[in-house]
């Protein structure tokens, strides 16, 4: 299956996105389609042996919209950077208002005088008042309306085109409402002319006061004001992604034959030696070859404290070099860097839809045709059944058309997802899809891997217990014996020796004994380093040290016994300590009401020690990596919604099996297919924030959908005049247009509240 992203043009509401999705679902080879109204993009998964991208684009065009393939990650930025489009909208809006103001004044100057006492210049009275000036009054309004319609021609062009394709959208409702008002006004001009020609002044009076030109202009202008304000608010939803894109430097300095050369970032190759001075951002992922510095990684991880780096340490693209000049060998460049992977991940995530959005999409697909039907029925009912004037019935139909707002339904989910995911990314939390975000809201069981998740994943020496040797000689022997070992315990001893500058004992020969330890020869004498099984096999008496061995094991430590062929020399205990944040994270997960299980391959004694230390409710120990998936499946069969938190490598099958897979990462292996969410800071507390963020976003989506539905449920009957017979309440088309614009703005502004989400307190 091939996954591709497309840029879509011509969409104005969720009826458009639903139309495109339903059209493409009919094509052979299509697997999944997600159309995002907010980003004007489409994600398609299809069988490339059956279908081509050209056929997909053609299908979208036949549906009445435009489609094109993106051109690398620059398209992501172009999708979000809508400054040119916003500027055009602003200019059109200013032009519309400049012509609308005199139009409104001319059409309503008499009313304003009677209601507010606003004086009317004599020139206005001479030109426009009275039946004798009715044609001048009407034509002037019509001439002022024409520029307004030209400034807003997209509503008519797109709306009528989609109506022609039997796929009416929000633009269709606006176009129909405005054009109907305009046509009625033109009809009124003819009636005024007939009245003046025949001397029928009552006819002239009737139609000169019911022109509706101001309504036609006001409808599109108010909708444009709403769209412009909505665009300004929507531009803020992609702030996090745009901020990440702006972090990437445009140039890099490389060293060739000891000369510094500046090249464009897209010319950088794997293996290039980079020179990065203080104050410069790192252009690629790589390893420090020379220099010591501190790196500000806050832009990617959210961690405010700079991190010390030296030779051999990894550095990440887009992070800021603070103090020293360093030389770095580039390992990942271009689209392979951490920054670009994060951008692509976020872009895919914000294009995706949460399952809850399907409700709105289904309704939106049928919404506009139903609204048009309601408008026609209501107009006919008021005219033929209620026996009202054609003007009254006509205004009812227009009000229904322009107050209906499928746009609010379509924006309810994507704006909340984009803002929520952007806020998560700012804190080092990447959630891959809207579906994962919604699932996190329903999780009731958290399964935690131990090594690298709860613990640091780096064993360290905790106890040094000399017996027949002093501590210095014991450590020298240990470091010497472990020099060639690949075991994590050996790595802990070597690191300790390096840090404390311990000179290793020279070892003549060394042999690893699988699962037990090592045997070494030093100056013709045999020495052992290993567990109790090894030493018992070598017939050494462990009676005196067994109590200490058991004590260390109960504390979650692994004792490594050193001995000669005849006696015990000492014990060095190694442990993988819990991270500083693990206890607080586990307590926070408990407060969220989640069941917590630790799944580990360690023995039961070591697992119980960590369980008691961190107060973990349930532990399943001695589990092989391939069996972790089975335990997840068993929990799911019991009806639990399970989140698995692991390091994303050894736990890949379990992460894939879980309803929600959360991978802790050091920030360089971002795009792991097995995980649904990735925690860049490698901090278990961020798993808590995944759940909290999910709850906040889902609550926000439900609020948006509620108000979008309630608005239409109340607004459409009100526009249809249901309260008029009892209370005389009837919506003017201009008020209906203003209300429609406000509904979309309110949905976007409500979603922007998610920008206040933080890791310390609830929204």
Q: What is the CA radius of gyration of the chain?
A: 35
DSSP 579: P
Q: What pLDDT was estimated at residue 350?
A: 62
Pairing of β 460-466 and β 509-513: unpaired
Give 703 or 165, the one with higher predicted confidence: 703
75 band by pLDDT with thresholds 50, 70 and 90: very low
Helix (H) or strand (E) holding 414: helix 406-426
Return phi, psi of residue 289, to 5°. -100, -25
How does DSSP classify residue 625?
G
Task: Provide mean pLDDT across the span 748-762.
Answer: 77
In this prediction, residues 734-759 reach a mean pLDDT of: 80
Task: Report how far residue 598's alpha carbon sits from residue 593's, in angstroms, rounded to the nearest whole number.
Answer: 16
Q: What percent of the chain has pLDDT over 70?
A: 91
Query: Which band of pLDDT confidence, cut at 50, 70 and 90, is reported for residue 650?
Result: low
Confidence tier at 234 by pLDDT (50, 70, 90):
low
Distance CA 536, CA 559 (A): 15
Average pLDDT over residues 722-746: 82
pLDDT recorded at residue 590: 94
Q: Which residues, listed in sequence order, are joined to residue 290 by a DSSP beta bridge?
A: 327
Picking from 288, 316, 320, 318, the residue whose alpha carbon sits closest to that of residue 305 is 320
For 196-205, 633-642, 724-733, which range has the lowest pLDDT when averaged over its residues? 724-733
More confident residue, 108 or 616: 616
Task: Evaluate if residue 761 carries a pLDDT over 80.
Answer: no
Find the range with the poorest average confidence among 70-74, 134-138, 413-417, 708-712. Answer: 70-74
Q: In the structure, what pLDDT confidence band is assigned to residue 12 with cuts at 50, 70 and 90?
A: confident
Give the whole-angstrom CA distance, residue 474 versus residue 572: 9
Burial label, 316 (beta-carbon count in 10 A; 0-12, 13-18, 19+): buried
Cα torsion through 85, 86, 89, 93, rounded to 10? -170
Taking residues 482-486, report their average pLDDT.
80
pLDDT at position 669 over 60: no
Q: What pLDDT score was predicted for residue 241?
A: 64
- Given a cut of 80, is residue 193 above it in pLDDT? yes
Decide if pLDDT at 696 tops 90: yes
What is the rounded distance in angstroms from the CA atom of residue 458 to the CA atom of residue 430? 25
HEC per residue, 261-323: EEEEHHHCCCCCEEEECCCCECCCEEEEEECCEEEECHHHHCCCCCEEECCCCEECCCCEECC
Task: Count CA atoms closer than 13 A to 614's CA, side-chain side.
Answer: 31
CA distance 601 to 325: 43
β-strands 677-679, 660-664 pairing: parallel
Report the pLDDT value the prediction gives residue 258, as an integer from 0 to 100: 82
Task: Give SS3 for 231.
Answer: helix
Q: What is the pLDDT at residue 671?
A: 35
pLDDT at 601: 77
284: left (phi over 0), alpha (psi -120 to 50) or beta: beta
| Pairing status of strand 314-315 against strand 285-290 | antiparallel
| 169 phi and psi angles, rounded to 5 deg | -130, -165
Residue 70 CB neighbour total at 10 angstroms: 16
Identify the H or E element spanning 68.
Answer: strand 66-68
Q: State how far the alpha carbon of 485 is from the alpha carbons of 440, 494, 576, in Å.
A: 42, 9, 18
The whole-number pLDDT of residue 329 equals 95
Contacting residues for 96 by C-beta, under 8 A, at least 6 apart: 147, 148, 151, 152, 217, 220, 221, 224
- Respond yes or no: is residue 449 known to be catalytic: yes
For the chain, what is the largest distance between any 2 Cα atoms, rounded to a whole number of angstroms?
Answer: 132
- Condensed to tens digits (0 to 9), the pLDDT of residues 537-578 reads 999 999 999 999 989 988 888 899 999 999 999 999 998 889
Stretch 518-533: mean pLDDT: 92
Q: Per-residue pLDDT tens for 280-328? A: 999 999 999 999 999 988 766 656 568 888 999 889 888 899 988 999 9
pTM: 0.72
Q: In the chain, helix, strand, coil percent, each to 5?
A: 55, 20, 30
Taking the C-alpha atoms of residue 736 and residue 730, their distance in angstroms, rounded to an integer, is 10
In this prediction, residue 223 has a pLDDT band, given cuts at 50, 70 and 90, of: confident
Tell me what pLDDT residue 211 has: 83
According to the model, what pLDDT value does residue 299 have? 67
Residue-level pLDDT at 484: 77
With cut-offs at 50, 70 and 90, classify the pLDDT of residue 689: very high
φ and ψ at residue 533, rounded to 5 degrees = -60, -45
State mean pLDDT over 4-33. 87
Average pLDDT, rounded, for the chain: 85
Active-site hit among 347, 449, 651, 659: 449
Q: CA 576, CA 330: separation in Å to the nearest integer?
A: 31
The mean per-residue pLDDT over the stretch 445-471 comes to 89
CA atoms within 13 A on the CB side of 509: 6
Q: What's the rounded Cα separation, in Å, for the pair 434 and 34?
A: 11
Determine the pLDDT at residue 96: 95
What residues have CB less than 8 Å from 176, skipping those under 6 apart? 159, 163, 372, 375, 401
**What are phi and psi for residue 506, nearest 5 degrees?**
-75, 125
């Amino acid at each position: 299956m091939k996954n591709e992203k497309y840029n879509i043009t011509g969409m104005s509401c969720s009826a458009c996105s639903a139309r495109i999705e339903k059209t493409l679902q009919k094509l052979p080879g299509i697997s999944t389609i997600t159309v995002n109204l907010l980003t004007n993009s489409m994600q398609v998964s299809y069988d490339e042996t059956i279908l081509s991208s050209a056929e997909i684009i053609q299908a979208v065009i036949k549906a009445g919209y435009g489609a094109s393939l993106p051109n690398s990650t620059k398209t992501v930025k172009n999708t979000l950077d809508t400054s040119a489009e916003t500027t055009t909208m602003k200019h059109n809006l200013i032009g519309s208002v400049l012509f609308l103001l005199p139009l409104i004044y001319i059409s309503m100057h008499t009313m304003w005088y009677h209601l507010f006492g606003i004086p009317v210049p004599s020139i206005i009275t001479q030109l426009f008042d009275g039946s004798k000036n009715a044609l001048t009054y009407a034509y002037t309004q019509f001439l002022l309306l024409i520029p307004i319609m030209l400034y807003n021609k997209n509503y008519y062009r797109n709306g009528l085109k989609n109506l022609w394709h039997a796929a009416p959208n929000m633009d269709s409702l606006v176009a129909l409402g405005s054009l109907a008002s305009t046509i009625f006004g033109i009809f009124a001009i003819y009636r005024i002319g007939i009245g003046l020609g025949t001397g029928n002044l009552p006819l002239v009076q009737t139609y000169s006061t019911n022109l509706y030109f101001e309504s036609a202009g006001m409808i599109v202008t108010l909708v444009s004001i709403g769209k412009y304000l909505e665009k300004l608010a929507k531009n803020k939803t992609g702030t996090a992604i745009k901020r990440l894109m702006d972090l990437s430097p445009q140039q890099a300095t490389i060293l060739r034959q000891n000369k510094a050369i500046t090249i464009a970032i897209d010319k950088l190759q794997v293996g290039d030696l980079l020179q990065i001075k203080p104050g410069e951002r790192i252009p690629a992922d790589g390893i420090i070859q020379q220099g010591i510095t501190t790196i500000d990684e806050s832009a990617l991880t959210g961690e405010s404290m700079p991190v010390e780096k030296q030779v051999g340490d990894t550095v990440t693209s887009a992070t800021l070099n603070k103090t020293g000049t360093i030389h770095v060998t580039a390992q990942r460049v271009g689209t392979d860097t951490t920054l670009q992977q994060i951008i692509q991940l976020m872009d895919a995530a914000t294009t995706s839809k949460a399952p809850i959005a399907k409700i709105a999409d289904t309704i939106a697909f049928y919404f506009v045709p139903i609204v048009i039907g309601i408008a026609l029925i209501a107009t006919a009912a008021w005219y033929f059944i209620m026996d009202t004037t054609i003007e009254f019935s006509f205004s009812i139909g227009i009000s229904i058309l322009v107050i209906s707002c499928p746009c609010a339904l379509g924006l309810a989910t994507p704006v909340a997802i984009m803002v929520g995911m952007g806020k998560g990314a700012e804190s080092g939390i990447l959630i891959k899809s809207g579906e994962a975000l919604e699932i996190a809201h329903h999780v009731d069981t958290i399964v935690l891997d131990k090594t690298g998740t709860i613990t640091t994943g780096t064993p360290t020496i905790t106890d040094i217990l000399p017996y027949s040797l002093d501590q210095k000689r014991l450590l020298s022997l240990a470091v010497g014996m472990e020099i060639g070992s690949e075991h994590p315990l050996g790595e802990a001893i070597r690191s300790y020796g390096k840090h404390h500058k311990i000179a290793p004992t020279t070892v003549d020969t060394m042999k690893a004994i699988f699962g037990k330890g090592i045997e070494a020869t030093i100056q013709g004498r045999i020495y052992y380093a290993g567990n109790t099984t090894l030493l018992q096999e070598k017939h050494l008496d462990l009676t005196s040290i067994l109590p200490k061995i058991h004590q260390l094991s109960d504390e979650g430590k692994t004792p490594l016994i050193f001995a000669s062929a005849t006696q015990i020399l000492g014990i060095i205990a190694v442990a993988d300590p819990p991270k500083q944040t693990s206890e607080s994270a586990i307590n926070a997960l408990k407060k969220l009401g989640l069941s917590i299980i630790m799944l580990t391959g360690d023995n039961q004694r070591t697992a119980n020690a960590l369980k008691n230390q961190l107060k973990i409710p349930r532990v399943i120990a001695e589990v092989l990596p391939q069996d972790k998936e089975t335990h997840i499946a068993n929990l799911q069969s019991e009806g639990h919604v399970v989140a698995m938190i692991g390091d994303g490598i050894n736990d890949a099958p379990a992460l894939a099996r879980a309803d929600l897979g959360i991978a802790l990462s050091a920030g360089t292996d971002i795009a792991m297919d097995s995980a649904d969410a990735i925690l860049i800071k490698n901090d278990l507390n961020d798993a808590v924030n995944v759940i909290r963020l999910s709850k906040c976003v889902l609550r926000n989506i439900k609020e948006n959908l509620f108000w979008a539905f309630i608005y239409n449920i109340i607004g459409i009957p009100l526009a249809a005049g249901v309260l008029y017979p009892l209370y005389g309440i009837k919506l003017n088309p201009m008020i209906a247009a203003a209300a429609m614009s406000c509904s979309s703005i309110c949905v976007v502004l409500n979603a922007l509240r998610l920008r206040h989400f933080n890791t310390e307190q609830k929204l």
